[in-house]
């Protein structure tokens, strides 16, 4: 079970957009919050592996009985989800909600609702998959433990979750504020020590008559007069200045690191939708298709075979997009595919022929580089090209629509490397009525 890939598959652009509208928050903040809650929830489950009994059974039972279509923050949160959040986080749930709200730039109320929504999606998808494939508790925790480092890598830096007492696992989560806090403490300590040095009673010296009558008149404390206080103040100010300057450098360095992590996280999160590059036989009712394990073909076959597929509404179907993981356009081209792409198109055509009542919609996307209108045009041409290729394979009537979204849903920064931005240049499909 590719757990993160499974969960991320339900976080579609449509869901982000709908949730943004429901909560009155920007889509970027919604996406950041959800993408932060997913690894925190998974990490919380892994942390409770040996201390909480029946956790996996509860998740599995919930997923088996719960549909994941048409998820909304306006719906009442199921009691099971509330119970799971309480078991995993206890009294730390609210501090986590507050931290994510600050990180994502949204209200704590919205953050709380997004935790419920993300938990519902995460545990619902895991439980459903576990029930469908008869996954055991041992297999589940083995799979989850195998991606521990990936889970920790997806937790945004600077949250300081380890301080909440969530468990030893979260002590390994990235920290950014610690460096800043240590530097600030160092400043305080240094200034305190400077004051101690300054406040040492000066050695008594023979009295010398003052040259300046003004200084003599206004020196109420004797021994050094005005300069006795000015010089220490100057020393303290200089010490504070240089230490603050050093601190600021640490802060700048740390902030850059945080931004870098966010960009990398965006790439990692999106690239998780791509299946592991291990070719295997995908069973299509007795016919073996060559595809990637847990890849596009495997996912859509399971989706079609699911008991509730036939009764799903259009609103429910549009919540679930599947990314092509072996269909790639030559960079800059709209009518030329990279070698090997034909295999997956053949597979998709074979699946549609096997299920002639199934209908799909195609979507194509670009990264943020370049003119918006041009990117939209390129993506539309690519979507049309895929539709034409499937039509050649005899399933054109089942491809109801093909739409190019351009950079509308791109997440990776325009300034990121080409390799990082590649995650935004993708083709997808979803089922439709």
DSSP string, 187-213: HHHHHHHHHHHHTSPPPP------S-H
**Which residue, chain included where needed, has tokens 């989800």?**
81
Instruction: Note the pLDDT of residue 148.
Output: 86
CB-based contact 248:179 (threshold 8 Å):
no
What is the share, in percent, of the chain residues with pLDDT greater than 70?
71
Instruction: Note the pLDDT of residue 11.
Output: 85
Of 153-157, 277-281, 416-420, least confident by mean pLDDT is 277-281
At residue 269, does pLDDT exceed 50? Answer: no
SS3 109: helix
Question: Quick one: average pLDDT of 77-93?
Answer: 89
Question: Quick one: average pLDDT of 321-329?
Answer: 92
* Confidence label for 330 from pLDDT (cuts 50, 70 and 90): confident
> Per-residue DSSP letters for 321-380?
-EE-SS--BPTT-SS-BPTTHHHHHHHHHHHHHHSTT-EEEEEEE--SSS-HHHHHHHHH
* 241 burial via Cβ count (<10 Å: 0-12, 13-18, 19+): exposed
pLDDT in tens, 91-139: 889 989 998 998 899 999 999 999 999 999 899 889 888 887 788 888 8
Q: Which residues pair with 322 in a beta bridge?
A: 429
User: In the structure encoding, which two tokens stand for residue 97, read together?
Assistant: 């909600």
Distance CA 3, CA 207 (A): 82
Closest C-alpha to 54, from 171, 155, 162, 137: 137
At residue 342, does pLDDT exceed 70? Answer: yes
pLDDT in tens, 281-313: 999 999 999 998 889 999 999 999 999 999 999
CB-based contact 385:427 (threshold 8 Å):
no
Name the E strands within 258-300.
Answer: 279-284, 287-292
Contacts of 276 (CB under 8 A, 6+ apart): 2, 292, 293, 294
* Confidence label for 246 from pLDDT (cuts 50, 70 and 90): low
Q: For all residues of the chain together, what is the average pLDDT?
A: 78
User: Side-chain half-sphere of 287: how many Cα atoms within 13 Å?
Assistant: 9
Higher pLDDT among residues 206 and 425, named by residue:
425
Which CA distances in Å does 10 have to 72, 197, 278, 427? 12, 62, 23, 16
Q: What pTM was computed for the model?
A: 0.45
Instruction: Note the pLDDT of residue 278.
Output: 66
* Confidence label for 69 from pLDDT (cuts 50, 70 and 90): low
Instruction: Note the pLDDT of residue 262.
Output: 32
């Amino acid at each position: 079970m590719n757990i993160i890939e499974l969960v991320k598959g339900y976080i579609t652009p449509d869901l982000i957009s709908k949730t943004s509208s429901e909560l009155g928050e920007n889509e970027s903040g919604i996406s950041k919050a959800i993408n932060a809650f997913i690894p925190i929830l998974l990490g919380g489950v892994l942390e409770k592996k040996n201390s909480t009994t029946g956790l996996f059974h509860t998740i599995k039972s919930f997923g088996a009985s719960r549909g994941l279509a048409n998820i909304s923050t306006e719906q009442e949160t199921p009691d099971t989800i509330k119970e799971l959040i309480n078991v995993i986080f206890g009294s730390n749930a609210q501090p986590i909600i507050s931290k994510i709200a600050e990180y994502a730039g949204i209200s704590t109320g919205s953050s709380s609702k997004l935790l419920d929504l993300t938990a519902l999606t995460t545990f619902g998808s895991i439980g459903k998959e576990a029930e469908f494939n008869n996954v055991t508790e041992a297999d589940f925790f083995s799979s989850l433990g195998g991606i521990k480092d990936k889970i920790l890598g997806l937790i945004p830096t600077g949250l300081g979750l380890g301080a909440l007492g969530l468990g030893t696992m979260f002590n390994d989560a990235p920290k950014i504020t610690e460096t800043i806090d240590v530097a600030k403490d160092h400043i305080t300590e240094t200034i305190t020590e400077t004051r101690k040095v300054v406040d040492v009673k000066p050695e008594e010296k023979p009295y010398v008559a003052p040259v300046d009558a003004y200084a003599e008149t206004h020196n109420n404390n004797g021994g050094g007069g005005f300069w006795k206080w000015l010089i220490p103040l100057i020393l303290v100010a200089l010490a504070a200045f240089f230490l603050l300057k050093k601190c600021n450098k640490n802060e700048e360095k740390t902030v850059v690191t945080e931004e870098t992590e966010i960009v990398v996280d965006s790439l990692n999160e999106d690239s998780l939708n791509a299946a592991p590059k291990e070719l295997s036989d995908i069973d299509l009712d007795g016919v073996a298709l060559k595809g990637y394990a847990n890849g596009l073909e495997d996912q859509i076959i399971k989706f079609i075979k699911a008991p509730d597929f036939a009764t799903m509404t259009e609103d429910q179907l549009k919540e679930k997009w599947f990314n092509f993981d072996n269909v790639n356009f030559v960079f800059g081209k709209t009518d030329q595919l990279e070698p090997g792409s034909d295999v997956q198109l053949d597979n998709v055509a074979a699946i549609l022929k096997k299920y002639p009542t199934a209908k799909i919609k195609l979507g194509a996307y670009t990264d943020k580089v370049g003119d918006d209108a041009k990117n939209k045009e390129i993506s539309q041409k690519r979507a049309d090209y895929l539709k034409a290729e499937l039509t050649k394979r005899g399933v054109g009537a089942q491809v109801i629509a093909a739409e190019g979204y351009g950079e509308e849903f791109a997440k990776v920064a325009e300034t990121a490397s080409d390799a990082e931005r590649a995650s935004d240049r993708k083709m997808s499909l979803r089922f439709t009525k």
